[in-house]
Amino acid sequence: MTDPTAPSTAPEPWGTAVPSDVPTHWYNLAADLPEPPPPALHPGTREPLGPDDLAPLFPMALIMQEVSTERYVEIPQAVREVYALWRPSPLIRARRLERALGTPAKIFYKYEGVSPAGSHKPNTAVAQAYYNAAEGITKLTTETGAGQWGASLSMACALFDLECEVWQVRASYDSKPYRRMQMEVYGGTCHPSPSELTQAGRAMLAADPDTTGSLGMAISEAVEAAATNPTAHYSLGSVLNHVLLHQTVIGQEALAQLDEIGESADVVFGCAGGGSNLGGLTFPFLGRNLREGTTTRVVACEPAACPSLTQGEYRYDFGDVAGLTPLLKMHTLGKDFVPPPIHAGGLRYHGMAPMVSHAKELGLLDAIAIDQDAAFAAGLEFARAEAIIPAPESTHAVAGAIAHARQATTDETIVIGLSGNGVLDLPSYSSYV
């Protein structure tokens, strides 16, 4: 369907050619779920949110996508033109890894590290910047963990002439200076979180001056900064339905690429923190399972240090520490949970996307927790076989897939979501080489 909420003042396409295999629509899993996901609740009234409740933070087009039950939402041509800079991303047969493992299984990886920012995050950053620019917004605020999201939104804002202000989890801000530099090259501004710049940040520092920070803390700061500026909106890199919707270009391409070579996935492994990479890769596979009766198994691979799916409670919780966000029904470790400063900073979130959580509750996907040492060992093994250094987040999916492939006794087809490259995360690897 054509998106009826797209404003007439939307940025015009440049008229550049877009490959025909770049998806024309995003896929919405909500259309195929056997039960609708629970609604988000207003933090004050505890009643289901309405569009007007979200209007101070998001453009109306994204708000309508958040609650849409349409199976497909048309991708604006101006967004597809930016996608065409790197999409479709490659689906690569990992023959050298197969040989190194001595497995009869066929291993493929869907590589999102080819994007200009180095990860899957621009798939939604570009869309969010487009819709905000169309509504006349001039500034976006956001949080970031490892920095992949902050860099991606900074890039997208540069392309659509928006200002970008980022709060980065302090542990990652201190350990990964090149991500901050990447944001600044794109024109973004980056602060360590918690900071003295917001009321929420000051309260957190007063409670614990030495805190390493968390995504929940950084979200509180970014939301506060947007809510107090009438020309600004907040932009989230994961968790919400519209974010996962935009990421489904990954899984749609992977399905088409497998179909083209006569393959079908037996099992798909994706890393899971907030849920955007996992949902983007796997929701099209789950949709095919639900519509056509296929049996692709989906495995969410989360860090043992922040195991929301495997150890969290499924209940309503805030998405941030300060309680400024809507209440979401999700697997959560509690909004006050502060994860240890693990290297996979992009997975240090206390909750899991409501749509992913709902799919888990329905038995549509499995989840495993991967310890950091096992994740980096898998990352090194992958890099030395396939020559690509995975992002620390991606190593969790690689670890899950490698363990599975080592036990394989048939030529089953395994797909790994390689959500980004780790070239700017090399300090994380230093303890393992």
What are 345-396's pLDDT values in tens digits?
Answer: 667 688 999 999 999 999 999 999 999 999 999 999 999 999 999 999 999 9
pLDDT for the residue 428? 86
pLDDT for the residue 146? 81
Q: How does pLDDT run across 246-257, given as a tens digit for each residue?
A: 999 999 999 999
Residues of the chain above pLDDT 70, percent: 97
pLDDT for the residue 291? 98
The residue with greater pLDDT, 2 or 341, is 341
Give the model's confidence band at 197: pLDDT under 50 very low, under 70 low, under 90 confident, else very high: very high
Give the model's confidence band at 344: pLDDT under 50 very low, under 70 low, under 90 confident, else very high: low
Fold category of 86-118+242-432 in CATH? Rossmann fold (3.40.50)
The residue with greater pLDDT, 38 or 339, is 38
pLDDT for the residue 345? 60
- Whether pLDDT at 3 is above 70: no
Residues of the chain above pLDDT 90, percent: 84
Domains 25-44+66-81+121-240 and 86-118+242-432 share a fold: yes
Q: Where are the domains of the chain?
A: 25-44+66-81+121-240, 86-118+242-432
**Mean pLDDT, to the nearest integer, of 137-146?**
93
- Whether pLDDT at 6 is above 80: no
Give the model's confidence band at 2: pLDDT under 50 very low, under 70 low, under 90 confident, else very high: very low
pLDDT for the residue 342? 66
- Whether pLDDT at 194 is above 50: yes
Q: How does pLDDT run across 209-220, given as a tens digit for each residue?
A: 999 888 788 989
Q: Mean pLDDT for the chain?
A: 93
Fold category of 25-44+66-81+121-240 in CATH? Rossmann fold (3.40.50)
- Which of 93-102, 118-127, 286-295, 338-347 is predicted with the least confidence, judged by mean pLDDT? 338-347
pTM of the model: 0.94
Q: Quick one: three-class SS letters along the chain?
A: CCCCCCCCCCCCCCCCCCCCCCCCEEECHHHCCCCCCCCCECCCCCCECCHHHHCCCCCHHHHHHHHCCCCEEECCHHHHHHHCCCCCCCEEECHHHHHHHCCCCEEEEEECCCCCCCECCHHHHHHHHHHHHHCCCCEEEEEECCCHHHHHHHHHHHHCCCEEEEEEEHHHHHHCHHHHHHHHHCCCEEEEECCCCCHHHHHHHHHCCCCCCCHHHHHHHHHHHHHCCCCEEECCCCCCHHHHHHHCHHHHHHHHHHHHCCCCCCEEEEECCCCHHHHHHHHHHHHHHHHHCCCCEEEEEEECCCCHHHHCEEEEEECCCCCCCCEEEEEECCCCCCCCCCCCHHHCCCECCHHHHHHHHCCCCEEEEECHHHHHHHHHHHHHHHCCCECCCHHHHHHHHHHHHHHCCCCCEEEEEECEECHHHHHHHHHHC
pLDDT for the residue 249? 98
**Mean pLDDT, to the nearest integer, of 283-299?**
98
**Mean pLDDT, to the nearest integer, of 44-66?**
92
**Mean pLDDT, to the nearest integer, of 152-167?**
98
The residue with greater pLDDT, 347 or 124, is 124
pLDDT for the residue 161? 96
Give the model's confidence band at 8: pLDDT under 50 very low, under 70 low, under 90 confident, else very high: low
